[in-house]
Structure 1
Amino acid sequence: MDKYRQYERVFNQFDENGDGKISPCELQKCVGLIGGVMSLEEAEAAILSMDSDEDGLLCLEDFVKLVEEAGEEEKANDLKEAFRMYEMDGSGCITPKSLKRMLSRLGESKTIDECKLMVAYFDINGDGQLSFDEFKVMMSFDLCL
């Protein structure tokens, strides 16, 4: 089953009254059913931000955009958390030393020279460390392998 059909099935579950639209109340209730918490005001704001025809409701296309943007935001938050784990010393950058330390914690033994090479491969500005933007590039490359 393709992703659009999956979204459509979820959309239809959220659309309790079957009118082809999701109201703020329906969105709030369904988010609660899947274990999330969303106030009515948050549901209204979420719908307002995606409502293409400005009727105060989400059509299927609006819903797909909402879900995909939420997924992207979650990925970005996960990436920020991972970056903080690797940078460890609060410098805002991943150094070969902090990379070695984190890899060691993950059970992967690398020498400092190997870590320098890993950093250098994605060190776009040549400062010997990875900024968050350089880390994102590294992680997107890793996900493509």
Structure 2
Amino acid sequence: MSDALAKFKAGMPKEVIDAMKQEFKDNYDTNKDGTVSCAELAKLMDCPEEEAQRIITGVDVNCDGRMQFDEFLLYMEGSTKVDLYSSDEIKKMFDDLDKDGNGRISPDELSKGVGEISTKLVECMANKLIQEADKDGDGHVNMEEFFDTLVAKLPLRKDFGMTEKLLERFKKCFHEDFDKNGDGSLTTLEMGQLLNRNLPGRYSEEQINKMISRVDLNDDGRVQFGEFLMHAQNLSKDDIKNQFMAIDKDKNGKISPEEMVTGIKEIYACMVDSEVAKLIKEVDRDDSGCVDIREFRRLLLVLIPFMN
């Protein structure tokens, strides 16, 4: 718990804290794991998960995507994590980022001017990727999990620029235009229709099978969405294996959280710039491409955990 949050809690009467702790246990923490997830809050409040996530983000001091009890206190008091800091402290944070002193934080200042923020962003992204891919719950990612999940998550070619918008376009193309039977994969026939749509007969069935084999990570003779992305980026399953091995530094067949952090820094550095650009876009009300002191308070909802 941050010093600022500890100070906030210390200023509350003990009987109030005890009452809220009981409320937290009885009505919010439904699975009794000591935290409130986005799904738990959405169900409790009967609201969309996007709204629940907005609430959690506002008090998520440790940036774990969940609401701890001390963060719950903030929420119940109608405060956010930004309210933990004085105006002078916020101004100092802004000035520390505003390297050229022009009253605005540029994307370059945010991504390059503060190494510790970039490092924390990478760590958060790496931990999130590990959680999404780790199907067996061992805290690591093996090659099968890497194939199944991270092919669609990581920018496997640094020169390709897989933006969120482009990824959504590929998903729509895959599911609406080519996966005709809606089973989540492309057969030889469906792949042939995709490849031959402009020039019928250009590719033979044998050629199409070779193309499928080139990206068929699980060797089922079909093309799943992640493999479809590989085809779009002109990548083969050998390329993916090489990517996995490049991240797996100790060559034990599993990627640890620490290895994922190093791997992103070395191979997927563009993810940091993409994340920074997304942060600025979310708070940039005047479309200047930068963040002024008024917009900075909204940016702090995300940055505070990285600045403590």
Output the TM-score relative to the length of structure 1: 0.48
Rg: which structure is higher? 2
The structure showing larger relative contact order (alpha-carbon pairs under 8 Å, at least 6 residues apart) is 2
